[in-house]
Amino acid sequence: MPGPAADVTRLAAATKRLFEDLSDESVEASAAWTVAPSTMEEAALVLRAAADARMPTRFYGGGTHMDYGYRGDFELVVTTSRLNRVVDWQPEDLTVVVEAGVPISTLEETIGERNQTAVLPEAFGRATVGGVVAAGLSGYRRFRYGPTRDRVLQVGLAAGYGRVIAGGGPVVKSSTGYGVPRLATGSFGSLGLVGWVMLKLWSRPRATASIQIDEAAAAASTYRPLAVLETSEGSFLYLGGDPQQVTAEIASVDGEVRSGLHWPIPISNRIRLEFRVPPRLLRQAIDWAQRVDAARWIAEHGVGRVEAGVDAIEPKAIQAARAWAETNGGALIVASTHDPEIDPWGTPPVSIEIQRRIKQAFDPFSICNPGIFPGGL
Amino acid sequence: MIGYGLPHFPMTRASSVDDSSGVVARLIGVLGSERVHTHPLDLLVFGKDAGVTPGEAAVVVLPESTDEVAAVVRVATAAGVPVVARGAGTGLAGGAVPTSACVLVVLTRMNEIFEVDEVGRTAWVGAGLVNEALSNAVADHGLLFAPDPASQQTATIGGNVGTNAGGPHCLAEGSTIAHVLGMEVVTGDGEVMMVGGAAPDPLGYDLRGLFVGSEGTLGIVTRVLVRLVEVPPQLETMLISFVDVSDAARAVSEVIAEGVVPAALELMDGPMIEAVENFVHAGLPVGPGAVLLAEVSGHSVGVAADAALVREIAVLNGATEIRVARDEDDRALLWKGRKAAFGAIAQSAPDYYLNDTVVPRTRFVDVLDEIYAIAERYELRLLNLIHAGDGNFHPIVSYDAAEAGMTEKVIDATHEMVRAAVAAGGTLSGEHGIGIEKRDLMPEVFSADDLDAQERIRDAFDPLRLLNPGKVLPEGSRCLDRPPT
Ligand SMILES: Cc1cc2nc3c(=O)[nH]c(=O)nc-3n(C[C@H](O)[C@H](O)[C@H](O)COP(=O)(O)OP(=O)(O)OC[C@H]3O[C@@H](n4cnc5c(N)ncnc54)[C@H](O)[C@@H]3O)c2cc1C
């Protein structure tokens, strides 16, 4: 468990100098030190020093998902604000190597020049590539293109034990060693700092349209739409492809059509609940969101994710819904609450013992985002 | 026989289990004597896969349930005997080939389809189910299992998970990793554990993602929850001929660069075409050039547009003939040549060595040229079968191992080809895995620190190193035992 506020006097002089040299004032963080390495080697040095001093360390990207997971007190914050380069974009290969601190908006703008997309979350705010990968977040278009983790081809990690490692392969298809990129994606910084990734890209469809439909089931007449969302504001079908194809598909569906992709406004209520259930149970999760009078909700058909926003909720209601989700092989995640009675993750996975050993192997002194991960890892 | 070549490869000989430890007797206690094999012939047959590395098992077992697999693992590991998982043994990298006396766990009897969810488009299947049997079983629902290795009539889903298998249609659909949602596994302690599941993004680390491609070194997969995809409403299949293989390669690069992702883009060079024609007479244009088998799928209108673009690019790059399949029979005929390729190679020479390596698609043309140059320098007969859309090469050297020094020469040449791919920014394997074959090449693509990190992962699952030892990671990868102080 993270200790009390940093006892800066205990830091070795060299460590203090390192932290001062790399100090980052652009981020408002409550920890004693905030540093921004600009290379992987610097990041590893910082983590080695933090491990030596047993300093609980938090990683900070765009700061959009800091409310996930268990809370903790941190003495050191490592930001990715100086790991901010689009290193190598190969438009003809549809791949890009990008550092963690690059905002999604910047990446999409860069590769948009050649009409490509990394298919990261659509409503990104200030989110960074590293933050999204570390949190394992996917956009709505995963319905067609699969989740983000399928597109992380390579990852560079400053591991909690203070070494720089890379995993995966610099190609779109590989069976070469263990899936380190898979392990890092969704690890919430618990193994180390995700410093860069190589992503597989897709071409943006030549034509797109958003259709407000009466019932999400109407989408069944289209082949692989980009997304089918059912929300508190209505149901929407998102189409993309060849212009003539999109025109033909629009003609086969009833509903109000807008050209382009108009995604829901992100949920920003005080408490955000996220069901992850087998897709066939989506209806029940939606019913629950309606029953608890969620201010807003967004359900992803064919994916099994329902996000709901509420301003207040009884912990008991969460427990019951979570029990249902977990019994069915899913989860209910609660973000942005500061109510200590509400568990953000719920029951840890049955593989927790192996998960613990992985954490131990990569972060032997438990300094990397300690305690925030499922199971308190 | 396909692929059981290279008899002169250095043999990894397993001494038989010293049954003073009573392992065989205890295994018989668990499975009965019919499903525990120690006959030397069985040990020899099951000691090989379809690749070039021979080995020998100590005892072969055929469990029929997860509980039996768990009991087998407990018996073996309690005695300190390694456990090697094996599906159909069609692997080409030696992943299922024992490197020491071991219990070889053959999963082919665990081939049940437990549950198909047509609405959620998933199925729970036994790890020993044959790949194609799954697609056949769900065809009536308009669904299929997308990974389609050329070995799909024999390879198992568990083996596909083990190697993260690919296939022609993995270009658009992704390899096995994109089609496995969860699995039941038996760990090194003989415990049964679930990883992943039908719900998206399960909590914690993505152990499912680690298991895929782990070649039996993290546990034994007993059941798999697979994702099924809709059979596309429309397909257009084209066989495009080129005078020069580089023209075909350039056309492929341009199609990808245009952002069109066809369902499949398979390339065969002249020598490959000739071997296929001699074998199946599929009507391929024999000559020095190359053929590109291109398939686009999806919505009927989109398919027409994409197919037109592929043709246009092909013509601009010197395509000499384009045959478009008119119906399903015609399509099957166009695919026939591609599917018969392995049989054709096996028939055309006493031995062959098929390699698997992958490069960034922008480097495709250059690396192909280099591969030809290497074969020429070594004076070897080279055939090429290429998953061109993802830059995944299968250079195949056909030869006669009875010729003195030939095997060594073939290995040297092949390693040079792999190095050429790595030098161009590629990696060791696109779909066959590392196994024994490429284990010692791992330092060519990973630093000592990178390999150490992979060893840490392995340790978390298998601290005793009893799960398929001697595979994937080279000896001594754990070089950083000291934590920082
Ligand atoms: C003619 C031919 C064509 C081929 N074409 C292709 C192709 O197009 N694409 C492609 O990717 N491959 C291809 N291959 C290679 C091979 O078929 C694949 O690697 C396949 O996935 C292996 O499946 P298998 O059941 O034979 O596994 P095996 O060879 O028995 O095992 C492969 C690996 O997986 C592990 N393993 C097997 N079962 C399990 C389990 N239940 N749990 C844990 N680990 C397990 C083994 O230990 C081993 O490391 C081809 C092979 C041949 C002979």
pLDDT digit string, tens, across residues B200-219: 999 999 999 999 999 999 99
Identify the sign of the CA torsion B117, B120, B124, B128: positive
Q: What is the pLDDT of residue B480?
A: 53
A362 part of contact set with chain B, CB < 8 Å: yes
Considering only the top CATH level, what class is B113-230?
alpha beta
Contact A202 B299 (CB under 8 A): no
CB pairs under 8 A between A and B: 271
Q: Tell me what the mean pLDDT of segment B100-126 comes to.
A: 96
Q: B418: which residues sit within 8 A by CB, 6+ positions away?
A: B355, B357, B428, B438, B441, B444
Phi, psi at B432, each rounded to 5°: -90, -15
Provide the residue type at A31 as one letter. Answer: A
Q: What angle do CA B20, B21, B22 make, to 5 degrees?
A: 85
Residues of B in contact with A142 (CB under 8 A): 200
Note which residues in 320-339 of chain A have CB less than 8 A from chain B: 325, 328-331, 333
Ligand 1 contact, B89 CB (< 6 A)? yes
Provide the residue type at B389 as one letter. Answer: G
Provide the residue type at A337 as one letter. Answer: T
Span B234-423: which CATH code?
A: 3.40.462.10
CA-nearest of A291, A339, A358, A275 to A71 is: A339
Q: What angle do CA B402, B407, B413 make, to 5 degrees?
A: 145
- Only one residue has tokens 């998982």, namely B85
Q: What is the pLDDT of residue A7?
A: 56
Ligand 1 contact, B468 CB (< 6 A)? yes
Ligand 1 contact, B392 CB (< 6 A)? no
**Is the pLDDT assigned to residue B417 strictly greater than 60?**
yes
Instruction: Give the helix ranges, DSSP H, for B360-405.
Output: 364-377
Q: Do B482 and A206 meet the contact criterion of CB atoms below 8 Å apart?
A: no
* Segments making up each domain of chain B, as ranges: 23-106, 113-230, 234-423, 446-481
What token pair was written down for B349? 């020479």
Cβ count near A307 (within 10 Å): 23
Give CA separation, B461 vs A187, A191, B454, in Å: 17, 16, 11
Give B2 to chain A, closest Cα distance, Å.
23
Give CA separation, A222 vs A133, A143, A194, A219, B236, in Å: 30, 13, 38, 6, 19
Query: Whole-prediction pTM value?
Result: 0.94
Number of H helices, E strands in chain A: 10, 18
Nearest atom (ligand 1) to Cα of B148:
8
Top residue of A47, A140, A178, A283 to mutate, by most chain B CBs within 10 Å, is A178
Q: What is the pLDDT of residue B7?
A: 33
Q: What is the pLDDT of residue A9?
A: 63
Please state which of the ranges B30-44, B302-316, B328-342 shows the lowest mean pLDDT: B328-342
Strand residues in B53-191 grouped as ranges (E): 59-61, 83-86, 103-106, 113-117, 122-126, 143-144, 180-186
Ligand 1 contact, B170 CB (< 6 A)? no
Torsion of CA A6, A7, A12, A16, to 10 degrees: 50
Residues B115, A268: Cα–Cα separation, whole Å: 39
Ligand 1 contact, B156 CB (< 6 A)? yes
Residues A247, A224: Cα–Cα separation, whole Å: 15
pLDDT, tens only, B14-30: 445 556 678 999 999 99
Q: What angle do CA B172, B178, B182 make, to 5 degrees?
A: 160
Q: What is the pLDDT of residue B5?
A: 34
Span B23-106: which CATH code?
A: 3.30.43.10
DSSP secondary structure of B194-211? EEE-SSSS-SSS-HHHHH
Q: Do B388 and B396 meet the contact criterion of CB atoms below 8 Å apart?
A: no
Q: Which residues of chain A, if any, have pLDDT below 50? A: 1-6
Q: Identify any residues that bridge with B104 across adjacent strands, giving them in sequence order.
A: B60, B84
Please state which of the ranges A99-103, A245-249, B338-342, B419-423 shows the lowest mean pLDDT: B338-342
Could you say which of A93, A161, A179 has the minimum Cβ distance to residue B362?
A93
Residues B425, A249: Cα–Cα separation, whole Å: 41
Q: Which residues of A345-374 are buried (b: 16+ CB within 10 A; e: fewer)?
A: bbebbebbebbbbbbbbbbbbbbbbbbbbb
Q: Tell me what the mean pLDDT of segment B227-254 comes to.
A: 94
DSSP three-state, residue B374:
helix
Q: What is the pLDDT of residue B431?
A: 97
**Is the pLDDT assigned to residue B481 strictly greater than 90?**
no
Q: Do A300 and A236 meet the contact criterion of CB atoms below 8 Å apart?
A: no
Q: Do A78 and A33 meet the contact criterion of CB atoms below 8 Å apart?
A: no
Q: Tell me what the mean pLDDT of segment B333-355 comes to.
A: 86
Contact A223 B261 (CB under 8 A): no
Torsion of CA A256, A258, A264, A265, to 10 degrees: -120
